[in-house]
Amino acid sequence: MLRYFIKRLLFSIPSLLVFLIALFFLLRLAPGGPFDGEQVWPPEVQANILKKYHLDQPLHRQLTEWLIQLGHGDLNESFQYLGKPVTEILAETFPVSLLLGTLALGVCISVGIFFGGIAAWRQGSLADRLLLFISSVSISLPVFLIASVLVLIFSLQLKWLPPALWEGPSSAILPVLALSWRPSAIVFQLTRSTLIESLRSDFVRTARGKGVPEYGIIFKHALKNALIPVLGALGPIAANLVTGSFLVELIFQIPGMGKYFVHAVLNRDYPLVMGVTLLYGGILILTHILVDLAYALVDPRIRLGESL
């Protein structure tokens, strides 16, 4: 198992590097430069700026320089937030995104699987239909709409919770809800449908025949089987919750990394985009490997060696 893990990890590193290099060139293709602003600086000023940030050198030189620095664990300084090392920005903002994402993932898994189990258990009942309806409605709502409705109700009308900022547990409630709303519904639907499917399978019938109570069947026998596709979906969902929270971060003004990333792309802050991507890449690769491992744990029929 450990060998597989290390092998996968080692295989991923070149992929990540290739991707980063591709991104490096892709970024330079986008029109505009990091120091274009409201005003046009005189040519001598512009030349000084380009020289200072090594933007006057040929692209491959810039790339080698970046890679060498990366080897030393240095991600350069941000072009937009002058004097701030990218590593420092990541160290300060990533934990916030991670916390937000983890909380949302927790909500998403517990709500999704719990209600999914209930709906499958009482398939066709009123509760099942109601849950199904709510989940369909939830999936159909864009994040910004959920967020704005939550803010309208709980902050502006009822004045119970703050509309934005990151100042304490009460200010985390709305963003976590907004962020986990849709994925919860997705997890719910997946759990429900795969559970129903596996409830029809032979081994469940056998268990039923043996007189195992229904909730026992659901939460012990069937769920374990049903979790495979759910796990497959949870990987990207988890990754997206941590990395894709930028809209929620923007709307609720949370000092996380997602918002920085969008701004970095829009402002052509090359070092910051590269740094964030590197970190995102690491997380995503890790989640994928973990999901594959989890697959293998849940379903012994899948043999790890084969994917290598």
Partner 1 sequence: MRQIFQKQNRFLTFCCLALSLMAGMAVFAPQVTHYSFEEQNISEKLEPPSAKHWMGTDTLGRDLYSRVVYGARLSLLVGFVTAISGLLLGVSVGAIAGYRGGAIDLLLMNLVDFLMIFPSVLMAILLMLLFGRGPLGIILAISITSWLSLARQVRGQVMQAKRFPYVESARAIGASPAAILFKHILPNLLGPILVSLTIQIPNNIMAESLLSFVGLGLAPPYSSWGTLANEGFRGMQTYPHLLIFPSAAIFITILAFNYLGDELRKKSEKRL
Partner 2 sequence: MKICGRILGALLLFQVNGIGLAQALPELKNFTLRLQGEPETLDWNKAHTPIENYLMITLMEGLVSLDSVKVEPALAESWKISGDRKTYTFKIRKNAVWSDGVPVTAEDFLTSWKRLLAPETAAAYAYFLFDIEGAEAFNQGKEKDFSKVAVKPLDSKTLQVRLRKPVSHWISIPTHWVTFPLRKDILEKYGDQWAKPGRMVTAGPYLLDRYDLNSQIILKRNPKYYGHQGKVDQITALIVADDTTALQLYQTGKLDFLTDFPILNVKSLSETPGFQIFPYLKTVYLGFSFSPNHPTDAQKWIQNPHLRKAIAMSIDRSKIGEILQGKQSPGATFVPPPLTGSSKNVGITYNPKEALEEFRLSQAPKGIELEILILNWEKTLTLAQFIQSQLKLHLGIQLNLQPYDNKTYRAQLDLHRHPLFLTSWSADYPDPDNFLSIFLSDSGNNRPGWKNSSFDHKILQARQMPSSSQRERLYIEMQRELLDKEVVIVPLYYEPNIALVNPRVRGLKLNPLNYLDIKGVEISETK
Contacts with partner 2 by CB under 8 A lie at 30-45, 48-49, 51-53, 80-83, 89, 91-96, 98-99, 102, 148, 151, 155-156, 159, 162-172, 250-253, 255-256, 259-260, 263, 266-268
- The two tokens of residue 99 are 């916390």
**Could you tell which of partner 2, partner 1, none binds residue 117, using a CB distance below 5 to 8 A set by kind?**
none
Member of 139, 164, 212, 290 binding partner 1 (CB under 8 A): 139
Nearer to partner 1, 271 or 281 (CB): 281
CA distance linking residue 293 with residue 299, whole number of Å: 10
Member of 76, 97, 171, 189 binding partner 1 (CB under 8 A): 189
A 10 A CB-CB count for 47 gives 12
Member of 46, 193, 201, 253 binding partner 1 (CB under 8 A): 193
Nearer to partner 2, 226 or 248 (CB): 248
181 lines the binding site for partner 1 (CB under 8 A): no
Nearer to partner 1, 55 or 286 (CB): 286
148 lines the binding site for partner 1 (CB under 8 A): yes
Q: Which stretch binds partner 1 (CB under 8 A): 34-42, 115-123, 203-211, 239-247?
A: 239-247
CB contact at 8 A, 176 and 104: yes
Cβ-based burial of 130 (10 A; exposed 0-12, middle 13-18, buried ≥19): exposed
**Could you tell which of partner 1, partner 2, none binds residue 244, using a CB distance below 5 to 8 A set by kind?**
partner 1
CA distance linking residue 226 with residue 112, whole number of Å: 13
Torsion over CA: 219, 220, 225, 230 (sign):
positive
Angle (CA) 254 92 170, round 5°:
35
Query: Taking the complex as a whole, how short is the minimal distance between the CB of residue 56 and partner 1, in angstroms?
Result: 23
Member of 262, 290, 293, 294 binding partner 1 (CB under 8 A): 262
By CB under 8 A, how many residues form the interface with partner 1? 60
Backbone angles phi, psi at 85, to 5 degrees: -65, 145
- The two tokens of residue 51 are 């020289």
CB contact at 8 A, 115 and 271: no
Task: Report the site for partner 1 in 241-260 (rule: CB under 8 A).
Answer: 243-244, 246-247, 258
CA distance linking residue 89 with residue 126, whole number of Å: 50
